[in-house]
């Protein structure tokens, strides 16, 4: 499936020699280049502190790089204003490591929020939201507030919220970090289904090398400010340090 607005050979996301610095001697990222083709599913690995979360923030345009260029859906974002960035960001679903759920809303309301903001009527989306929450094992927790949910349950609500609008690109930061192996595999199957059925491009940052090896998807490794593609034959047997 070709993304709207993309030429046949355009990546959905492209970083060209991107850097982020907060001062002369405080480089967070130094020289990062990567390209995600339409319909790809890619893992981003690397040691703790390498900058995986920061890279994802740059990818969804939550941060501006201090060097290099970021293109999203074939659009060079370098000189775009916040208003011009907004339509691009609406096509990106983000699973945050810290969840970012609204405490005064139920699990159902948190997942439905992006649809409400987009102007959809509840009768048009209620069945989809309930079905998605049931799929991630929270069908009996629709009315639960975040304060009553475990870390793993909050993670599943965050994932459901990110995918409910069927975004063109999903960026997930440690999406299986707070769930057991069985649920982690189940959540990954959800990402895989979105990727296969809808052509959604997906980038998952993780240190869970067991999941990476089982998934047999493309792997990028971030270390020392650079991203390198890793063949599956070279994957380490141990998990990345957290």
**Interval 87-100: pLDDT, tens:** 999 999 999 988 99
Query: What integer pLDDT is reported at residue 115 of this predicted model?
Result: 95
Q: How far is CA 84 from CA 26, 64, 104, in A?
A: 29, 14, 31
Phi, psi of 10 (to 5 degrees): -85, 135
Tokens matching residue 41: 């599913």
Residues of the chain with pLDDT under 50: 1-2, 237-238, 242
pTM for this model (two decimals): 0.88
Interatomic CA distance for residues 120 and 116, integer angstroms = 5
pLDDT of amino acid 108: 98
C-beta neighbour count of 79 within 10 angstroms:
6
């Amino acid at each position: 499936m070709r993304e709207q607005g993309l030429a046949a050979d355009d990546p959905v996301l492209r970083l060209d020699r991107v850097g982020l610095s907060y001062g002369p001697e405080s480089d967070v990222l130094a020289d990062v280049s990567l390209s995600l083709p339409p319909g790809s599913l890619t893992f981003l690995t690397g040691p703790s502190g390498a900058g995986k979360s920061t890279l994802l923030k740059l990818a969804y345009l939550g941060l501006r790089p201090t060097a290099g260029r970021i293109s999203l859906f074939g659009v060079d974002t370098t000189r775009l204003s916040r208003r011009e960035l907004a339509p691009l960001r609406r096509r990106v679903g983000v699973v945050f490591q810290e969840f970012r759920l609204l405490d005064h809303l139920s699990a159902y309301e948190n997942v439905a929020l992006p649809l409400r903001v987009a102007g959809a009527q509840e009768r048009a989306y209620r069945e989809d939201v309930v079905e998605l929450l049931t799929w991630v094992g929270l069908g009996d927790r629709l009315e639960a507030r975040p304060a009553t949910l475990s870390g793993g349950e909050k993670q599943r609500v965050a994932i459901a919220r990110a995918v409910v609008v069927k975004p063109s690109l999903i960026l997930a930061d440690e999406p299986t970090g707070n769930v057991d192996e069985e649920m982690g595999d189940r959540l990954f199957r959800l990402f895989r289904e979105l990727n296969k059925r809808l052509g959604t491009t997906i980038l998952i940052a993780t240190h869970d090398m067991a999941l990476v090896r089982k998934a047999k998807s493309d792997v990028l490794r971030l270390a020392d400010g650079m991203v390198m593609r890793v063949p599956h034959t070279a994957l380490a047997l141990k998990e990345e340090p957290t």
